[in-house]
Structure 1
Amino acid sequence: MALTPDDVGRIAKLARLELTVPEQAAMLQQLNGFFSIVERMKAIDTSGVEPLYTPLSAVHDVALRLRDDVATETNQRELNQRSAPAVEDGLFLVPKVKE
C-alpha cells in the first residue's frame, strides 16, 4: 500500500499540521517506508509460533509478577471536582468547541 502526495496532504490536514512541500515529500517517503516494512512483516508465515508476552521469554523463563485486579483507592469524585468551574450530576461541564 503506497501513499500518494495527496494522501500525505490529507493526513497533515487531519492532524492540523502545516507541512512545506519538502516536508511533505520527506513524510511521504517515511510513511511509505513504514508501510513497506509492515507489508514485509505480513508476508512472513507465523503459523505455529506462539506469541511472546515479553521478548525476554524467548531467552529464558520469566515469572510473571501479576497482582490481583482490586481497587485500592476510594471514590474521591467530589474532592476531585471541587476545583472544577462547572459540574453537573457528577460530570465535568466544559464549553462547546466548534470550528
Structure 2
Amino acid sequence: MSLTVLDIESIANLSYLYIDKNQVYDILEKINAIFSLIKSIKSIDTTNIEPLYYPTSLIQEKMLFLREDITTQNNYFENYQNLAPIIHDNLYIVPKIF
C-alpha cells in the first residue's frame, strides 16, 4: 500500500492540520517508507515459529535471569520533605491556580 499526495492532503484536512506544499512530498516519502517496512516484515515466513505469549518465558528458557532489585541510590525523602514549604501526610501542598 502506498499513499499519494492527494491522500496526504486529505488526511491533513480531516485532521485539521496545515501542511505546507513543500512538506507534503517529504511526509509522503516517510509514510511510504513505513509502509514498505511493514510490507517487508509481513513477507517473513513465520510458519515454524511459535508465538511468544510472555516475554519472560524466553528469558526462563535460555536461563537468563534478571539481576536482583537492589536500591543503588540514597533515599533523600527526608531532605526533600524538609525543603518543602507546606507538607500534609507526606504530600506537598501547592497553591491553587484556578
What interval of TM-score do these two structures reach, taking the shorter chain for normalisation? Answer: 0.5 to 0.7
Gaps of 5+ in 1: 63-99
More helix by share: 2
Partner of 2:49: 49
CA distance in 2, matches of 1:52, 1:2: 30
Partner of 2:82: none
| Number of positions where the alignment pairs a residue of Structure 1 with one of Structure 2 | 61
Partner of 1:33: 33
Per-residue deviation, 1:54: 4.7
Partner of 2:11: 11
Q: Percent identical across equivalent pairs? A: 36
- C-alpha RMSD over aligned residues: 1.9
TM-score under structure 2 normalisation? 0.54
Give runs of ≥4 in structure 1 deviating > 3 Å: 53-58
Gaps of 5+ in 2: 62-98
Deviations 1:32-52 (A, max 9, x none): 000000110111111121222
- Match of 1:61, SS state, is helix
TM-score under structure 1 normalisation? 0.53
